[in-house]
Amino acid sequence: MNADSQVEKLFLPLRFLKGVGPKRAELLSAAGLHTVYDLLHWIPRTHYDRRRMRRIADARPGDVETLQGVVLSMGVQRTRRRGMTLFHLRLGDESGAIDAVWFRQAYLEKVFRIGDEVIVSGRVDTFHEGLQIKPDEFEIVGGEGYEPIHAAGLVPAYPPVEGFGRKALRRLIHDAVAGYAPLVPDALDPELRQKRGLMPAGAALKAMHFPHSEEEKEEARRRLAYDEFYVCELTLAMRRRGIRHARAGRKLVIGDALDARIRARFPFLLTRAQERVIGELRGDLTADRPMNRLLQGDVGSGKTVVAAYALLAAVGNDMQAAIMAPTEILAEQHARTFGGMLQGSRVRIRALTGGARQSRRGREIRDAVAAGEVDLVIGTHALLEEDIRFKHLAVVVIDEQQKFGVLQRAALRLKGERPHVLVMTATPIPRTLAMTLYGDLDLSVLDEMPPGRKPVTTLFRPESQRGEVMAFVRKLLREGRQAYFVSPLVEASETLDLESATRLHEKLAAELAPHPVSMLHGRMTSAEKEAVMNRFRTGDARALVSTLVIEVGIDVPNATVLVIENSERFGLSQLHQLRGRIGRGAQEGYCILFGDPASEPARERIKAFTETADGFKIAEVDLKLRGPGDFFGTRQSGLPEFRVANLIGDAALLAWAREDAFARVEEDPQLRLGSGPLLRAMLGRRSRARAPLATVG
C-alpha cells in the first residue's frame, strides 16, 4: 500500500462511518470534526479515574465509588415533596446490595433488565438505614471480552459536541480508535522514535483516548506533542530552505562609499549591538538569496536606525524600499523620523495610510510609486491593497510585526520580485515562541541600549496614595515636564468599573489646571489624532490622556511620567510597551500604576513588572501567566493551535522536534527517503485540511 492510500483512509469523511450518516455528520462538522483524522485527534480534556472497583459492602458514604453488580429489582416512583419521577434499581454482588437512583430519567426502566450486570460510578450517600448511589455514569456489561469505556477505568471526558451526549460521543470515538488507530501509519522512522524514546503513532492515539494507566497516558501525550511540534518545525524548515535556495531578485551592492553615506545620516554613534546587527543585514542584502530576518530589540534599543540602514541601502542602489507599521500614529512617527534623517537629500519619501489612500493626494502617491518616482514608502495596512504597485521594490521592513496577521505579512512580500524582508518587534519573544512562530527566519537581537537612556522608576500605588502621586505629577509639570495617563477604556462602561479615558480626561483637566490636558484614542480620525499629537509634541498640551493607542509609535522625550489606571487589566507585554514611552530623553522617567489586582495572576503581573525592566524576563513571566494564545494580545499572530503540546511545559520536546525536523530537511529536502513519502503525504493532506498550518510565521 503506497503512502497516499495509507493516509487517505484517515481522511475518510465522517458521514461514511457506521452510525453517523448525513445529519450526525453535520453536527460533527459544526464542531470542526470532518474526517476520521479529526475524530482521532479530538483529544480528551481530562480522564475520570474509575479504576478502583469496590465490593458493594465496602462502599463508603461521601465517596465517589465505582461498583459492579447484578440488577435485582427496579422501578419508577414519584417523590412526595416535589412530585419528581425517580428511577431506582437494586444492585447486588456477593457482599451485599445498594440502591442506585436517577431523578427525572424514568425512561431508564426500558434500558435495564433484571439480571443485567451493571457498572455504576457516582457519589454514595446514606439513605434511611442503608446506602444509595447516584450514578454519574453507568454501563451494562456485554458478553465475553467486553471492555467498559463509560463507568470503569480511565474514562475520557471530551470537549462537548452539540447534539451528542457524552456517552454517544465517547462510543463514536472509541469505535473510530479501535477501527482506525491500528491503521495510522507512523511518519517517524524507527531510529528516530528510539532515539527520542517515543511510542508508535497508532499506539499513542489509542492510549491518549483509552489509557490503562496514567504513565501510559503521559507517554502517549509526549508522542502526540512531539508530532505537533515536528510538523510545525518541518513546515518552517522547508520554507527556510526554500528561501535560502531562492535567488534574490534584488541583490544589492553596498560598497564603502554607500556605507559611509548612510552612516552620515545617523545622528549619533551606533552601539556595538547595532553595529553587529547591521553587519548581519549587510551580509544578507548582498547575498544571492533574499533576506528573511527577524530583528528583536527591547523598547528604545535603536531598531529604527538598523532598519534605516537596510532601507537606504536599497535607495542607494536606485531601488525602492517600504516600511509598514500597524497604526497611523507609528507610520507618521516613522515619516517624521526619516524626514528629519534625510533632510537635504535627494531621497523621495512618501507616506500612505488608510485615511489618505483614496484622496486625490493618495492617488497621486500610488501612481508615483508605480512609476518608480518614490524611493521610500511609509505606510500602514494600506500598502497591502491591490492597487499599490511598485516598480522595483528591493527591501521591505515590517515594524511591530506581531500586530499583523500571517497573510498580511505574506501579501507585502509579494509586492516585489522576492524582496529582502526584515520584520521587527519591540515585544521580546521567549525562545519557545520564537521557535514556533519564526523558525524560518534568521534572528538578530539588539541586546544593548544606546548611551544616555535614563532608567525608569516603576511603582505600584494604592488608591489611598493618589493625592501624593498627583502632587508629584503637578510638580513635574511645573518644572516643564509632560505626562501620560493611560486608561483601558474610551468611554465609561456599565459592566466594568474602570476609569474611562473620557471621564479621566474631564477630571484631570480640572485637577491639573492651568496645564492643558489633551485626549487620544483609537476612535478618532487620522486628522484628529495628528492634531492631538502635534499639540503634545510641541508642549501646547502638557498631559495626554490615552488608551492603548500610544502603546507603540509615540516618541516625546520631554514626557517623563506615565500613570496607568486599572493596571491589572493590561498584559505584562502591554505594560512594558507603555513604559517604553518614557525615559526617552535626558530626564529620569517614572511609571506609576494604580489598580486593584484582586486575583493572584494579576498580583504576579504587577510584581514582576515593578521588579524588572528586562523585556525578555517580563515576556517569560507573561507567557507562563497568560499562555501563548493571548501572549501578543491578538489572535492574528499566526501561532499554530496545538491540541496536545504545551509551549511552556514541553520546551524540551520542542527543541528535539526542531533539531530533528531541520536535520531531516537538510538531509532529505524532498522527503523521499525512509518514511519521507508518508510524511510528505501527511503534510500535504493536513495542510489542505488546515490551511493556516501551512502559513505559520
Q: For helices 572-579 and 615-626, what crossing angle results, to 10°?
A: 150
All structural domains of the chain: 1-45+158-245+676-697 (no CATH), 51-151 (2.40.50.140), 256-446 (3.40.50.300), 456-612 (3.40.50.300)
For residue 689, name the pLDDT band (cuts at 50, 70, 90): very low
pLDDT of residue 533: 86
User: Where do we find the cell 484614542?
Assistant: 521
pLDDT of residue 584: 75
The average pLDDT across 560-588 equals 85
pLDDT of residue 514: 92
Highest-confidence segment of 179-183, 239-243, 408-412: 179-183
Nearest to 467 by CA among 511, 519, 516: 511
The average pLDDT across 289-306 equals 86
pLDDT of residue 602: 86
The average pLDDT across 162-179 equals 93
**241: left (phi > 0), else alpha (psi -120 to 50), else beta?**
alpha
Taking the C-alpha atoms of residue 184 and residue 204, their distance in angstroms, rounded to an integer, is: 10
Taking the C-alpha atoms of residue 186 and residue 515, their distance in angstroms, rounded to an integer, is: 70
Taking the C-alpha atoms of residue 113 and residue 217, their distance in angstroms, rounded to an integer, is: 35
Answer yes or no: is pLDDT of 95 > 80: yes
Question: How many of the other CB atoms lie within 10 Å of CB of 67?
Answer: 24
pLDDT of residue 410: 64
Beta bridge partner(s), residue 349: 376
The average pLDDT across 408-429 equals 75
DSSP state of 260: H
DSSP state of 35: B
For residue 247, name the pLDDT band (cuts at 50, 70, 90): low
For residue 496, name the pLDDT band (cuts at 50, 70, 90): low
More confident residue, 526 or 187: 187
Mean model confidence pLDDT for the chain:
85
pLDDT of residue 632: 47
For residue 682, name the pLDDT band (cuts at 50, 70, 90): confident
Question: How many of the other CB atoms lie within 10 Å of CB of 143?
Answer: 5
The average pLDDT across 440-451 equals 81
For residue 690, name the pLDDT band (cuts at 50, 70, 90): very low
Residue 680: strand, helix, or coil: helix
pLDDT of residue 129: 78
Contact between residue 307 and residue 323 where contact means Cβ atoms under 8 Å apart:
yes
Percentage of residues of the chain with pLDDT beyond 90: 43
For residue 282, name the pLDDT band (cuts at 50, 70, 90): very high
For residue 68, name the pLDDT band (cuts at 50, 70, 90): very high
The average pLDDT across 10-20 equals 89
pLDDT of residue 64: 92
For residue 362, name the pLDDT band (cuts at 50, 70, 90): confident
pLDDT digits (tens, 9 = 90+) for 306-331: 999 999 999 999 999 999 888 887 88
